[in-house]
Structure 1
Amino acid sequence: MLTPGSSIPDFALSTQSGQTVSKASLKGKRFVLYFYPKDSTPACTTQACGIRDAHPDFQKLGVPVFGVSADDVKSHQKFADKQALNFPLLADPDRVLIEGLGAWGEKSLYGRKYLGIFRCTFVVDAGGKVEQVWPKVDVKTHAADVLRYLQGGAGTEPAPTGKKAPAKTSGSAKPAAKVATRRQSAAKPITKKPAVKKPAAKKSAVKKPVATKRAASKTGATKPAATKLAAKRAKPKSGKR
C-alpha cells in the first residue's frame, strides 16, 4: 500500500455516468480516493451514504471524492441511482488503480483466506502524491474522519499499535513508593495497654468481721458466768453444818 509522499500511478477510468476521470484531468487539484469491496453490500452502502450526506462539505473545501471498486459501470450506475449518490464512482474492473495504490491483497473472513479489495482511503495532493492514507476505515465515521483531516483538525494520527503511552504526571506529584514509605515511617505504632484486672474480693475478708463479732459475743457471754461461779465456790461456807 502506498505511503505518504509516493506518487500515484497514471489512470483513466469511467464513472457511473460514462465520464472519464484521469490523473492528468485532476492535476493541480487535491482529491480523495476511497476503495471499497463491492456495490450494494451493507457496509459499502453505509460508507457511500456517509459520503453522500457530507458531500456539500467536501465541495466547500474544493476537494472532490471518488469511490473506486472493481465493479463495472453498469453496476456503479445501479448502485448510485438506488442510493441517490451525488459523487462519482470509478469503475476499475482491471484493477489498474486498485493494485497501483496497493488496495488489493489477501484478506481473511471466518478463517477463510481470499484475495480482495482493502477498504482504505487516500488523500492525494495537487502534485499527484499521496498526502494521507487510512489503511482501515470505520464505515460509520469515514466521511467525518476524512473531513476532519481536510479541515486541519484531529483524527490524522496513524492506527494505534496497541502500546499504551506512559501516563503523564505533574511536577508536584510524588512517586507512589516514596509516599508510601514516608507514610509508613510517620505512622506511630499502636500499642495496647494491658488490661488491669481488679482482684476478686475474698469471701473470708468479707465474713471475718462477722466471725469476730460472733466470737466476741460468745466470749463476752460465757466469761462473766464462769467468773461468778468461781467466786461462789471461793466464798467460805457459813457456820452451819
Structure 2
Amino acid sequence: MVSSINPSVKMIAVVIPGLVLSLAFDVVTPLVFLTFLLLVTFFFSGVRLKKWLMFFIPLSLFALGLAWTSMLHTDEKYAGGDMLVNFWWIEITTGSLQVGVSLALRSMCFIALTLLFALTTDPTKLMLSMMQQLKLPPKLTYGILAGYRFLPLFKHELDLLRQAHQIRGVSRTKGIKGRIERLKRYMIPLLANAIRKSERVANAMESKGFTGSRQRTHYHEIKVKKNDWVFLTSMITALAIAFYLSYTLGYLNIFGKTF
C-alpha cells in the first residue's frame, strides 16, 4: 500500500513528476500519467473514493477555470492552427484548445499527486523521515511537530473563548467592524496561551536532554526499504512511458516545440 511507503521517498516520487510534467504542453503526456495516478490511487492507496472526490472535484473546477482563461488568452506562439470558434470576442484555435486542455490535465495531475501524498502520509512519520533520511535539523523538525500538535489545542481554546464570551453576554457587533473587534478579543488570550505552552514544551524538551544535535539516536527509526524504491521507480517509469507514447504518436510538445 502507498501509505506504507517511506514519506521522504514518496515526496521525491511526487515532486519529480510534478516538475517534469510542467514542461509538457501536449495532451497525451498528462492524460497517460493521470490515468496511471488514478489507478494507483484507487487500487493501491486505500483512500476512499468519496473522500478523494471531496478534495479533487473543487480543485478540478478551479483547474478547469484556469484552463478556460488560458484558452481564451493564449500566447501567439501557441495559438496557431485552424479557427474552431469565432464568436464576438471569443476566438479559439486548435492550438489554444490544446494549450487549455493540456493545462487542465496537467493541473489534474498535480492535484492527484498532491492528494496521493497528503491522504496517505502521516505528518509525524514525514517529519521523522525528513530528519533521518533528508537530514533536516532536529530543532526545525521538532518545532514543526510541536506546532502541528498545538493546532487542535488552539481550536479547543478558541471554542472555550467563544462560549465564555457568550455566557458573559459580550455583545457581538455585526459587520466588518464587529468581526475585527472579536478578532482582537480572541487573539490576545490565544497568543498568551501559545507563549505559555511553547515555554513549557521548551523546558520539558531541555529537561529530557534535547539539544538539537544531529548526532542522536531515534526511538522510531524510519528506514528505506525495497518497496520504497519500487514505488519511486514505478512513478518515474510511468512518467517516462507517458512521454514516450506522446513522442511516438507525434504529440509531444515541450514549451511549444513539437518532437
TM class by smaller structure? under 0.3
Structure having the higher helix fraction is: 2
Structure of larger gyration radius: 1
| TM-score normalised according to structure 2 size | 0.20
Q: TM-score, normalised by structure 1?
A: 0.21
With a CA cutoff of 8 Å and minimum separation of 6, indicate the structure with the bigger relative contact order: 2
